[in-house]
Structure 1
Amino acid sequence: MSIQNPVFIPGPTNIPESLRKACDMPTIDHRSSLFAEILPPVLAGVKRVLKTETGEAIIFPGSGTGGWEAALSNTLSPGDKVLAADFGMFSRKWIDMCRRHGLEVQVVEAPWGAALPVGEFAAILAADTEHQIRAVLGTHNETATGVRSDIGGLRAAMDAAGHPALLFVDGVSSIASMDFRMDDWGVDVAITGSQKGFMLPAGLAVVGVSRKAIAAMETARLPRFYFDFRDMLAMNPASGYPYTPVVGLLNGLKAAIAMIEAEGLDAVFARHHHIAEGVREAVRAWGLPFCATAPESYSDTVTAIVMPEGIDGNAFVAHAEKRYGVSYGAGLGAVAGKVFRIGHLGQLTETQALAGIATAEMAMADLGIGIAPGSGVAAAQLFYRSSPVLAQRVAAE
């Protein structure tokens, strides 16, 4: 495939040139004063993006999966009970990780395409009068299905039940792209990665930790070393790391936060919604259903599109890459072969989104899918031209 073409996968995202250059730096001594110019601003900036004033930011070399493991191993003990829902590939993987760590998982099964079942969680938490559940897992944005869940509603359910469980939230494909409120939602561990909303290469697990989670470290008995919060919290204030940090990526993260804040967090969220709505208008024009079953749970970072009967979504993805040099997200897990995904997060523009829509139309036409060529492009164009978001951004520039 051509590296000139943007990718339309839900991460890793397209890397803005300025961020690529920020990562491309000479070797420096990570124990020198030069590193002290990178780490403190990054940690402070991550807290602003997470919207936490009381929590701490910790950044591990790794990915969002490493952040999941850090959340579990730093706060829980073997045999602890965890409440989670299986409603997509990544919520399912987190459940698998819990079991491998010797945790007892109470799993609520939900259809892939539905959001986290807050009502069922509320009933389970209210019934748990002995507070055996030690942690609740929530996937804010299920990347496999294009579904956003109500984390604020989940916190309200926990509070209504008077339940003291820790709240862990996978925000890997939402943080820095959609509104995330760590303090307001009472999130105890928030997790993302460098390769999504921060628009960088993969390689950093970005974690927000509440005071309650920090206190839980003192009694947690799961083994931890590489992902130990205590070592990071002890050394980071003096710009230290317990092992070699990924300096180039951290410098890139510093630049990414500056880029996000120059645009403004609310403007970033509005832009993502604007781009996503144009993609959704295209899908409606094609007459294809969304994997997400409720409009209020549509993701602003990825749209999963259900293919017509008899059409393999993964074959479509392979054809688009081979014929046109453009990558889309394949279906995963229970929706493998049934959907394809258009990722629309990061520094994406209307022009890039239209290119992705147009290429998808060509690939679908090649495979005999009965859509009117140009219908999705025209629908998205109409939306983008009539939306106030574009006009406001042009005026601001």
Structure 2
Amino acid sequence: MNSQNPLFIPGPTNIPDTIRKACDMPVIDHRSAAFAEILNPARANVRAVLRSESAEIFLFTATGTAGWEVALTNTLSSGDRVLAVRNGMFSQRWVAMAERLGLDVLVIDVPWGEDIPAERIADALADDNGHAIKAVLATHNETATGVTSDIAAVRAAIDGAGHTALLFVDGVSSIGSMDFRMDDWGIDVAVAGSQKGFMLPSGLAILGFSAKAMAATEEAELNRVFLDVRDMAASYAKGGYPYTPAVGLLNGLRVSSAMLLEEGLANVFARHARIADGVRAAVAAWNLPLCAARPEICSDTVSAIRTPEGFDAGRIVDHAMAKYGVAFGVGLGQLAGKAFRIGHLGSLTDVMTLGGIAAAEMAMSDLGLPIRPGAGVAAAQEVYRADRPVRAAAA
């Protein structure tokens, strides 16, 4: 793969040079005051990206999957019942983890390509008169299908049922790229990873805990050691870390989160929405269907594109890499061989995205699909040309 070609997978995403240089730093003593000057701003910036005034921010040297485990093990006890919606590969994996941890998982199954049905959550909670359900697991943006769900509606369903369940949200492929409001949406645990909207290498699990979630940590009895937020909180109070951290990644997070805030979250979200609109226009020009069942639930960070019956979509991904050095995402789970994915999040621009669309067109045309090279590019160009301010030339 040519290292100059941008990635078009839904994570890890492209790393800007500024962030790469921030990660490439000399070794420092992580028990010194110098480390606190990295850790404290990083946590404060992440809190702002989550749009929270008071969430406790935890940064583990781990991954988003570990973040799911942090949410479960720090707030629940063996045998506790949780309610989960399963509508794609990543929500499915969270369900599987909860089951392996000894939790009683009540699953609402939804066809892949659909979003979370808040009304079914409301019904399940209304039937739970004894409040046996301790938490609701919701995937904000299902990376396998390119579907975004309405988390505010999930919170409204919980509140409408008068239920006490905690709300856990997987925002791994949405936080830092799409509108996410921890406080306004009443989220108790938000889970993210470093390698997507934060534009970093993988290696950090990034979480926000509400006051209600923090209170639950005192009653939880599931085993946790490395992933114990109580140890983290005790160390943070002293400006430190309970074990040896990935200092370079944390410094990169300090810089990347500051870059997001400097760009302005509204501008970040608008950029992702515009880029996604261009990709969707290209897909329409190819006469290929998206996995997302309806336009209003299409993700602004990843598009899962179905290929014709009998055609192995994995061939597109393999060919694009082998011939053009461009990476696209394979179909996962039920979509393996039936779809490929274009990630359009993180450090991307309109012009970079046009290159990815062109590469996809060339690969599909090479493989005999009835794709006219230039059709998708032209459709995306019309989106990107519209309502774009022209910068004045420097004096």
Q: Which moved more, 1:148-157 or 1:235-244?
A: 235-244
Mapped partners of 2:392, 2:109: distance in 1: 47
Q: What are the Cα deviations for residues 277-316 of structure 1, in whole angstroms up to 9, with x where unaligned?
A: 0000000111100000011111000000000112111121
Letter aligned with residue 23 of structure 1: C
Match of 1:154 in 2: 154
Alignment of 1:283-302 (within 5 A): 283-302=283-302
Task: Specify the alignment match of 2:71 in structure 1.
Answer: 71
1:78–1:396 CA distance, 2 compared to 1 (3 A): farther
Aligned residues: 394
Aligned counterpart, 1:11? 11
Match of 2:117 in 1: 117
Distance 1:65 1:396, change over 3 A: farther
- What's the TM-score, normalizing by structure 1? 0.98
Deviation of 1:395 (Å) = 7.0
How far does the alpha carbon of each residue in 1:210-256 deviate from its partner, in whole angstroms, 9 at most, with x for none?
A: 00000001111100110101011111122111100110000000110
Task: Report what 2:389 is aligned to.
Answer: 391
Cα distance in structure 2, aligned partners of 1:293 and 1:189: 28
Q: How does 1:119-198 map to 2 (within 5 A)?
A: 119-198=119-198
Q: Tell me, what secondary structure is at the counterpart of 2:163?
A: coil
Compute the displacement of 1:372 (Å): 1.8
* Structure 1 residue 49: Cα displacement: 0.4
Alignment deviations for residues 73-123 of structure 1 (CA, whole Å, 9 cap, x no partner): 000000000100111000000000000000000011100000012111111
1:1-397 alignment runs, 5 A limit:
1-386=1-386, 388=387, 390-391=388-389, 394=391
Aligned equivalents of 1:84 and 1:257: distance in 2? Answer: 30
CA-based RMSD of the aligned residues comes to 1.2
**Unaligned segments of structure 1, at least 5 residues:** none
- Cα distance between partner residues in 2 of 1:10 and 1:252: 19
1:356 and 1:78 map into 2 onto residues whose CA distance is 46
C-alpha offsets along residues 39-84 of structure 1, whole Å, 9 cap, x if unaligned? 1111111100001112110000000001000000000000000100
Give the direction of change, closer, same or farther, for the CA distance of 1:103–1:321 in structure 2 (3 Å limit). Answer: same
Distance 2:135 2:218 in 1: 16
Measured in 1, the distance between the counterparts of 2:229 and 2:294 equals 38
Which structure 2 residue ranges, 5 or more long, are not aligned?
A: none
Please say if residues 40 and 237 of structure 1, whose CA atoms lie closer than 8 Å, have aligned partners that are also in contact. no
How far 1:347 sits from its partner (Å)?
1.4
Query: How many angstroms apart in 2 are the aligned matches of 1:284 and 1:121?
Result: 33
Structure 2-normalised TM-score?
0.98
**1:276–1:301 CA contact under 8 A, matched in 2:** yes
Large movers: runs of 4+ above 4 Å: 394-397
Partners of 1:196 and 1:67 lie apart in 2 by 14
Amino acid at match of 1:88: G
Cα distance, 1:161–1:396 mapped onto 2, change above 3 Å: farther
Q: CA deviation at 1:141?
A: 0.2
After TM superposition, give the deviation of residue 396 of structure 1 in Å. Answer: 12
Q: Give SS of 2:389's match.
A: helix
